[in-house]
Chain A
Amino acid sequence: AQRVTQPEKLLSVFKGAPVELKCNYSYSGSPELFWYVQYSRQRLQLLLRHISRESIKGFTADLNKGETSFHLKKPFAQEEDSAMYYCALVYNAGNNRKLIWGLGTSLAVNP
């Protein structure tokens, strides 16, 4: 069955330190992967998608099909990066496409 695993519920780093939020997926087909972010008291919003290969707010994520991972990375964390991060997978289910969410990782960046 398709699955998205974010192994860390909580990740705490110091400002300026590198940060990596892990996301592993289970899907035999060609995956489409997203990272969403929810800052305190704000709506959940798209951070980045794998097909765009873009860097948003200093974050990047590379799809590694061999390791079935889509880890989110930033070389120097900032306090404003503190938020809840969700990894999501879109997959083919018959004639439909479905989306499945990880349980989320809460990132705390300490001064």
Chain B
Amino acid sequence: DVKVTQSSRYLVKRTGEKVFLECVQDMDHENMFWYRQDPGLGLRLIYFSYDVKMKEKGDIPEGYSVSREKKERFSLILESASTNQTSMYLCASSLRLKGNQPQHFGDGTRLSIL
């Protein structure tokens, strides 16, 4: 069974801090994704990666960056955290998108920026 592990379930940080959210998957998936989930707004894609050292902007990349140095790990970085980045962050992975390859999600990180 695919395991996607996010490093923290809950995180509290202060405005202006640099914040790292880590995600690791154990199924050798090429694709990895970072979403934020907000009530009434569904899932919004922040960044995704099709391969090591490769990244593409999603729908809402502003204020975020990512790093994929190894295939199994995809990090989301909030360069200077702001209160409007308080949210639930979901990491997902999948095989390269051919046919019906579903995304597998982690438990999420609930991030609060004070």
Q: Which A positions have Cβ atoms within 8 angstroms of B?
A: 9, 32, 34, 36, 42-46, 49, 51-52, 86, 90, 96-99, 101-104
Q: Which B positions have Cβ atoms within 8 angstroms of A?
A: 4, 40-43, 90, 92, 97-100, 102-108
| Cβ contacts A to B, 28 pairs, < 8 Å | A32-B100, A34-B100, A34-B102, A43-B4, A43-B107, A44-B43, A44-B92, A44-B105, A45-B104, A45-B105, A46-B102, A46-B104, A49-B100, A51-B99, A51-B100, A52-B100, A86-B43, A90-B97, A97-B97, A98-B97, A99-B97, A99-B103, A101-B42, A101-B43, A102-B42, A103-B40, A103-B41, A104-B42
A36 surroundings in chain B (CB, below 8 A): 103
B92 surroundings in chain A (CB, below 8 A): 44
B42, B105, B106, B107, most chain A CB atoms within 10 A: B42
- In the docked arrangement, what's the CA distance between A24 and B104, Å? 23
